[in-house]
Amino acid sequence: MIVAFSVAPSGTGRKDASVHDAVAAAVQVVRDSGLLNRTTSMFTELEGTWDEVFAVVKAATEAVEPFGSRVSLVLKADIRPGYEGEIDNKIERLETALIDRED
């Protein structure tokens, strides 16, 4: 399965409302997990089994807790049993389809 998630604190008390330190703590948990992952400006994606992925999401959420008075978690999952490497394969299929449209 692939999960795309975003986790951030609120109630940080920072004048600029920035949450980059908290997000860095969450992303570090993801990167340390050993699961395939990718971080963009809005979401972090990770791939693994149901139990692996949700354990990492939980740990990443807990890593954000010290940065504010509450935590917001947004999550989307693509559950496709029997497939691995889809975090990259889906992108490759999209890029191929775009090239094919040019022909």
- Tell me which residue has tokens 């951030």: 8
Report whether pLDDT(14) > 80.
Answer: no
The domains located in the chain, with CATH, are 2-102 (3.30.70.930)
What are 34-55's pLDDT values in tens digits?
A: 999 999 999 999 999 999 999 9
Within 10 A of 15 (CB to CB), how many other CB atoms are there? 6
CA trace torsion 90, 56, 5, 82 (10° rounding) = 30
Q: Is the pLDDT of residue 15 over 80?
A: no
Pairwise CA distance, residues 44 & 41, whole Å? 8
17 burial (CB, 10 Å; 0-12 / 13-18 / 19+) is exposed
